[in-house]
Amino acid sequence: MATPKLTQILAGASMSALGVAVIRAQETARTDRLYADPYAQVFVDAARSAFLDPAAPAGSADTWERVETLAGRFYEGRTVGVRLADDRVRDWVGAGCRQVVDLGAGLDTRPFRMDLPEEVSWFDIDLPATFEFKEPVLERAGAAPRCGRHVVPADLSGEWANALAEAGFRPEEPTAWLGEGISLSRDSAIALATTITALSAPGSRYALDRLAVAERDMRDLERLVREGRSTPVSARGLPDGERWLAEHGWRTEFRSWDDLVAGLPRRWTTGNPEIGVVLAVRV
């Protein structure tokens, strides 16, 4: 019989986090890697052993195979996206943000692997079950954050601002809001953006991806993410995010994906000038 950790921690939204960990591990193993994440493979090994355990529920091995298959299909674009987000964090911290809030942090390890100033306060927000898996794995690996790191177990589709405040967040300080691949309903996405805006001092930074994903890939991804959850999750998020931010006190700039990757040593281009990132600064 499977342990609760397999059914409770590695189910639902954590599937996408595992897929990105697979991607980061594959990138780290390359000689021409765009970044190095020494903890990605640790997460992959822990998850794989749980899914392939003979005592796991029927179909667990097939589920893990689908995680790895989808990671392969999304690899090229997603791994470049990780590097772009790394660069964005460096720019935001360099611009004076001494707080970083990682929304839907998943298995992200930036406070452990990036060279960040010690005075930066990093807040990881995700579901409690995510941290039940993540923290013991990091502890066993001997991981130590390079800046002040705070774990905030909370549901982004509900009330999370109080939990963030209790963890030491200071709304009067400029904040960098990092959110990669958050899957929320339209109403929840608007509520999230509203809370971010209310908590953002002038000079805070935020970014919204404007992406296009093949219909088959998105359908398969959403199906995998929904497994183990009673309520389907939409990946559509904030409607017309650039306009919404501009109307709510943010200065926005759109940068196309192909423009952003132009300076990277390994580029993955789309040829579509509408795909890219909306960069926002709180005014």
Collapsed DSSP state (helix, strand, coil) of residue 150: strand
**In angstroms, rounded to a whole number, what is the distance separating the alpha carbons of residues 193 and 238?**
8
Res. 4 pLDDT band, cuts 50 70 90: very low
Domains and CATH numbers, the chain: 75-282 (3.40.50.150)
Residue from 181, 234, 245, 176 nearest 211 by CA: 181
What interhelical angle do 215-226 and 14-28 show, nearest 10? 120
Look over the chain and give the mean of its residue pLDDT values, rounded to a whole number: 87
Q: When comparing pLDDT for 152 and 233, which is higher? A: 152
**Single-letter residue type at 146:** R
Percent of the chain with pLDDT over 70: 86
Res. 11 pLDDT band, cuts 50 70 90: low
171 pLDDT more than 90: yes
**Single-letter residue type at 19:** G
111 pLDDT more than 80: yes
Q: When comparing pLDDT for 239 and 281, which is higher? A: 281
pTM of the model: 0.89
**In angstroms, rounded to a whole number, what is the distance separating the alpha carbons of residues 241 and 179?**
13
Which residues on neighbouring strands pair with residue 126, listed in sequence order?
153
Work out the number of other CB atoms within 10 angstroms of the CB of residue 197: 18
Q: Which residue has the tokens 């927000």?
A: 125
**In angstroms, rounded to a whole number, what is the distance separating the alpha carbons of residues 124 and 198?**
19
The mean pLDDT of 109-134, rounded to a whole number, is 95
Res. 214 pLDDT band, cuts 50 70 90: very low
